Amino acid sequence: MAGHIEKLALALRRAADAHGRPNTFGPGELVYYGGPSAMLAGRIGRDVVLMGRLYEALGGHAWGSAPRYDAGRFAV
C-alpha cells in the first residue's frame, strides 16, 4: 500500500501545482496526474491511518494543511 500512497501524494502535488491551492480533486482526476486507480485512491481517502501516511508522504507540516477526503474528493 505504501507505493500507492506515494503515487497519490505525487498526483496531489502535481494537481495542486497545476491548479493551485486550496482546491479539491476527485480520485478519477488524480489518475491523470499519475495517481493510483480511482478505487484505490478512494480507499486511501476513507482510511484514517492511510490519510495520516498520505500527509507524511506529502511532507507533513512542510506541505501545510493536512489533506482531507470528503464527499468523494481530496481537499488540499
* pTM, 2 dp: 0.93
Write down the pLDDT at residue 64. 80
**DSSP secondary structure letters along 8-22:** HHHHHHHHHHHH-SS
Mean pLDDT across the chain, nearest whole number?
Answer: 94
**What mean pLDDT is predicted for residues 21-38?**
96
Does the pLDDT value for residue 71 go beyond 80? yes
How many domains does the chain fold into?
1
Q: What order do you get walking across the sheet with 68-70 strand by strand?
A: 24-25, 73-75, 68-70
Which structural domain, as residue segments, surrounds residue 33?
Answer: 2-60+69-75
Cis bond leading into 36, ω under 30°?
Answer: no
Supply the angle between the helices 2-19 and 48-58 in degrees, to the nearest 10.
60
